[in-house]
Structure 1
Amino acid sequence: MSRSLETPLSKVKRGPNRASYDAVLAFNIIDSALLCHVGQTKEGQVFVTPTCHWRDGDYLYWHGHSKARNVKGPIDQPEKVCINMSLLDGLVMARSAFHHSVNYRSVTLFGVPERIDDREEKLRQFKIFLDKVSPGRWEQLRPVNEQEIKATGLVRIKIEEASVKMRAEPPIDDAEDANWPVWAGVIPLEKTWGQGQQDPIQQEDYNTPTSPDAV
């Protein structure tokens, strides 16, 4: 049975009919997205930083330079960050400008980041991340060195305070506009990876890496 991620902070106030707090649903969206935005404050100023993320069990991870704001900042001054990831699924074309919308899936999480310093755990998490981006590629690469490990900061938050919002339906127009003579419906967004473009400095031809599933 899936657990709930609802808390007073994560409870959706606007559009609660589109909200869910189901952990399994949140995990699916987190795993499908490749990019998240980390929101934090420093000396009263809000900063939002885009970064790649991944999940391992009940934890959301991200990495960056060891001195980067979204890695070092929450550790130097522990406080909750707000993280969002969104997937656009389609344009909702209505009969009036006011009722146009988008179909989407999104997750917003809250938590106090904790830093991971253990060398072996950092390597294990780096592999999980790369396997998400390109399954099987880690084993083909030049092994990371000690300088790279030290220069890369790794943090995580436990996924226990979050909300999902999503829309997956046709336009909702006013009843009196039902016969307005204009096309209405959904234009789905189809996402696929293109043909790989090999680095021009390479002299040999190599197999194109495996891409993650389109999201």
Structure 2
Amino acid sequence: RRIVIIPNISTYYRHRMQNYPAYAEIIQRVTAINPGNYLVFFPSFEFLQHTRIFLGNLASDLLWQRQQMTESDRVEIMQHLREGGKPKTLLAVMGGIFSEGIDLSGDTCIGVIVFSPALPKITFERELLRQYYDSQDQDGFQEAYVYPGINKVIQAVGRLIRSERDRGIIVLAGERFAEDRLNQLLPSHWFERPGDVVIADAYEDPIREFWAGIK
């Protein structure tokens, strides 16, 4: 596997509206390098829907998670992913029905793209939790917001690498993924070999290099 972090795109809420076309372009470029089935994870349905609007030129069939989905809806989408034929790209929300409890081994999924660490929204309860950890001389923001968000990212990435035989590309898009405070929370086994994790503004080159090396 290879994990490519794209640091030159902001996924902060205040920047998203102007960046939705750029998010869509990342999806189009990554999935075009080596056609196949890809999962794209977002922190919210709002983020997903706004990005989807700009994916009209996607070469693969576009599938997406809806807010009110039944189990039969989920099963139908999974069948589409497994049936072969034209490559498919599934847009989903972190922490949702497609980020856990599904088996996408082999060529069923060859890549995962994650936009933004899925930090929880600021709520009264979260702020109480942050204040509690701050009062215990711990990093309250890290405990109340960053850890839960990173756990969802790790869970989403886990849809790709399920066994030693699985191969694929993982793209983490957003400047925060390159920050030390967040980067150091990623699993240590992601960094086992030199080149496993690449931070690159020009993200297409390391992705092409990875696919060329395993063909």
Instruction: Write 1 or 2 for the structure with the bigger share of strand.
Output: 1
Task: Compute the TM-score of the two structures, normalised by the length of structure 1.
Answer: 0.25
Higher relative contact order (CA 8 A, sep 6+): 2
Task: Compute the TM-score of the two structures, normalised by the length of structure 2.
Answer: 0.25
Computing the radius of gyration over CA atoms, which structure comes out larger, 1 or 2?
A: 1
Instruction: Write 1 or 2 for the structure with the bigger share of helix.
Output: 2
